[in-house]
Structure 1
């Protein structure tokens, strides 16, 4: 992402990058950042390449906002995550192809690959189905994420990821789509062999320092 301290520009860049990464098309998907006691979120119905900083919506976690631009119809998912998860500094919602295809199965992605451990548990959970833009949907997402998961599928809908920063949340979305594609490929060739409890336990230990540079 571009180096900037402007949170509105961070959101615009993330929305545009999601399209370049193949995670979204058109006006689908939405992005937010925790902002004081509330949040900043992308507007509804505007193509990422057309969003301007003044169209980013500032709102509280109860759904109150002012201005000429309406927030994403999925604002409540973002608000409920910030209220429930102090570790969330950014939230991303995408309709990436492979993960969305798996969401139609209404099942979690099982531990076929050690990178599943980077999402807060031994699977990537799938939230129960609820209609888009409803309080029921935000409730199912919160239930699926619990206290530890950094992402979940949304049944017959798409994906939600969170992170301390937008870079972390968007990167998690990219990795989830990669794993979804790999799981579909493996499943098309047979039945994937899943990691057992001991293998998962050791993978979680290793993941504590995964991808980190050594000091000194």
Structure 2
């Protein structure tokens, strides 16, 4: 895979990450401070801090951690999920944005330990014919990091057993878009079992959609957001 250009570490980028957090809660895709977002920059990984209410975040509060190794002191305490963010940025250099949250319908499937099959063509937004489920491991653990890296090798989003969901983005806007689309897919799949059963698209049908999706998704003239 071709590495993506890192995002610039500017106030505009930092504010865009904060805006994404506020948007998640406003759209009921997350609750409290349980979600987190990171972006790969020329200096490492820019990530939201641990335990700070989104409404209180300022650009200066975001934390920079290295692409490998432990976070250094003096730059603030990063999100407790920083290990899998770091792992994702190394496993998927083509995707400079990692967005994690606990969307309600995604979380229902996650606690049921169910992946999402090709119940709708929008599954292609996540790189294949499923949204896979990463095996359970303690948050912030090396095991969770390894599970995520394995399951996301060829996907742009996944559910996390007994936890939540994570999506990747070429830009901040695309990560936000994928998170909302993932929650919509989860809701559609769950509701489709009421009075019936989801009819799953074939691999050939999804292959057609994947070709059509090569340049699909939100675009922005703002270089900060791609």
Normalising by structure 2, we get a TM-score of 0.87
1:1-216 paired onto structure 2 within 5 Å: 6-61=12-67, 62-67=69-74, 69-146=76-153, 148-210=154-216
Q: Indicate the SS of the match to 1:122.
A: coil
* 1:163-207, Cα deviation, whole Å (9 max, x unpaired): 111111111101000110111110222211101223222222332
Rounded to whole Å, the distance in 2 between the matches of 1:212 and 1:97 is: 24
Rounded to whole Å, the distance in 2 between the matches of 1:212 and 1:173 is: 13
Rounded to whole Å, the distance in 2 between the matches of 1:173 and 1:25 is: 14
Moved more, 91-100 or 182-191: 182-191
1:127–1:140 Cα contact (<8 Å) kept: yes
Distance change >3 Å, CA 133–CA 69, structure 1 → 2? same
Rounded to whole Å, the distance in 1 between the matches of 2:46 and 2:199 is: 42
1:57–1:65 Cα contact (<8 Å) kept: no
State how many pairs are aligned.
Answer: 209
CA deviation after TM superposition for structure 1 residue 5, in Å? 6.0
Rounded to whole Å, the distance in 1 between the matches of 2:206 and 2:94 is: 24
Q: Identify unmatched segments of 5+ residues in structure 2.
A: 1-9, 220-226
